[in-house]
Amino acid sequence: MDGRRSWSLRGPAMGRRYFLEVTGAGVSAVALGSAAGMWPGRAHAIEGTVRWVSPRGTIEVLDDYPYWVARKYGYFGDIETTLEPGPIEATATVKLVDQGQSDMGFPSPGVFSLGLEQGIPLTSVWHMGAYDVFDFAFRKGEKPADVKEIEGKTMLLGSAGWQAIVDPMLAQIGVDPASVTYAEAGGLWGQALMQGQGDAALSWEGLRAQWKGQGLEFDYFLGRDFSRFPANSFVIRRSDYEDASKKELYEAYLRAWAMGMEYGHLNPRAATHIVLEQFPSLAATLEPPVATESMMELANVFRGDFEKREGWGHHDFEAWKLFFDTIHEIGQITNPIAPEDVLTNDFVAPANDFDREKVKADAEGYELPEEFQSIDVEAMRAQI
């Protein structure tokens, strides 16, 4: 055994899976709601399993706070859920979905497009990141005046496959990706940057606050400030998307995530504390203010410009078209990709059809420990 944690609504022993080629794991899908698993307009409980795989190599992060909130409050209802980390290897999430060893993955747009290029039949069903989540980190005092000055520098990555993330970002701002040297530094690529092994490092919202909590203080170019690209989304096998018998299951699963995201927007301190209670080792490395800041960085990306979206999980087809066109222009894919062929917003309306008053009451009723009560959420929201 590799020591990774596996989670199940029926206990940690259920749903543990280890694979020969890549070690990943699943999240069983979740229904929604109350103990009866019913919401207005739904007369029966929804059952089933959805296995979800993380791209980060660990689940002991703030990134998945909507899942842990939904799990705590029973928003998944009768759907069994398990959550395990996938390997850090970039394309593992789409491989595991393709191989039937997971039902849903969370790849970046670049990794998603690589899977499509390889002929893996995938459909993106839920757009978590409305803003570009990826950032460029520099040692203090070494950040250039303009993001375009990254040309000619060495970029540290946790996995070589992450080049598929960075290349389009560079092309979008007019920097030739070939002018940047990439160095794979493994899981401690942030520490490698601090030690001077490269000029910059790929980072992302949520991680930058966690790095700060670990003493890794960097200056950043934030993707949301210079990039118009989308961020990670939930993808499933196209055959599952086309299977009408699974429609209610995925609607219910994604509804629970939407409820968790709504809860996190209403009470970020509570959502943060719920995750830290789940992972004492994470709580030991992050002080409550830093942890809350990390969660709020993510929540900001997940929400985006909400007035322009149709709800949680909504794909912006124009942003995705820009991304797909860019990666085709730079040769990252050989065949053009039309957003309407690989993305869907079919699940957005049903997943956002939940009892908002219940979620609000749950969020407002959470009893915060004393160390969280003094955190000024509005001041933190203004600076993120």
Least confident of 1-10, 171-180, 237-246: 1-10
Least confident of 160-174, 241-255, 266-280, 332-346: 160-174
More confident residue, 226 or 159: 226
Least confident of 94-98, 109-113, 161-165, 168-172: 161-165
* pLDDT over threshold 70, residue 37: no
Q: What is the tens place of the pLDDT at every residue in 269-280?
A: 999 999 999 999
More confident residue, 75 or 38: 75
Highest mean pLDDT pick, 41-55, 63-77, 89-103: 63-77
Task: For residue 176, give the 3-state DSSP assignment.
Answer: coil
State the Cα–Cα distance between residues 356 and 266, nearest whole angstrom: 11
Say what percent of the chain tops pLDDT 90.
75
Least confident of 31-35, 230-234, 363-367: 31-35
* pLDDT over threshold 60, residue 11: no
State the Cα–Cα distance between residues 112 and 235, nearest whole angstrom: 8
Cβ atoms 191, 158 nearer than 8 A: no
The segment(s) of the chain belonging to CATH 3.40.190.10 are 7-131+231-383, 134-226
State the Cα–Cα distance between residues 65 and 71, nearest whole angstrom: 10
Residue 25 pLDDT: 29
Within 8 A by CB and 6+ apart from 368, the residues are 269, 270, 273
Residue 38 pLDDT: 39
* pLDDT over threshold 90, residue 80: yes
The length of the chain is: 384
> What residue ranges in 108-193 does DSSP mark as E strands?
122-127, 134-139, 154-157, 181-184
Q: What is the tens place of the pLDDT at every residue in 287-304?
A: 999 999 999 999 999 999
Q: Which amino acid does the sequence have at 306?
A: F
Q: What is the tens place of the pLDDT at every residue in 236-258?
A: 999 999 999 999 999 999 999 99
- pLDDT, mean of residues 19-27: 29
Closest by CA to 235, choosing from 78, 79, 56, 54, is 54
Say what percent of the chain tops pLDDT 70.
88
State the Cα–Cα distance between residues 190 and 5, nearest whole angstrom: 24
Cβ atoms 172, 106 nearer than 8 A: no
* pLDDT over threshold 50, residue 7: no
CATH architecture of 7-131+231-383: 3-Layer(aba) Sandwich (3.40)
Q: What is the tens place of the pLDDT at every residue in 99-142?
A: 999 999 999 898 899 999 999 999 999 999 899 999 999 999 99
State the Cα–Cα distance between residues 384 and 381, nearest whole angstrom: 5
The dihedral through the CA atoms of 69, 73, 75, 80 has a sign that is positive
- The tokens for 107 are 């790849």
Task: For residue 314, give the 3-state DSSP assignment.
Answer: coil
Is the backbone of residue 15 left (phi > 0), alpha (psi -120 to 50) or beta? left
Residue 44 pLDDT: 53
Does CATH place domain 134-226 in 3.40.50.1980? no
Closest by CA to 78, choosing from 9, 27, 15, is 9
Residue 84 pLDDT: 76
- pLDDT, mean of residues 76-103: 88
* pLDDT over threshold 90, residue 234: yes
Cβ atoms 249, 50 nearer than 8 A: yes
- The model carries a pTM of 0.83
State the Cα–Cα distance between residues 75 and 93, nearest whole angstrom: 25
> Mean pLDDT for the chain?
87
Residue 152: how many other CB atoms lie within 10 Å: 11
State the Cα–Cα distance between residues 8 and 2, nearest whole angstrom: 18
Residue 351 Cα distances to 248, 251, 354, angstroms? 10, 5, 7
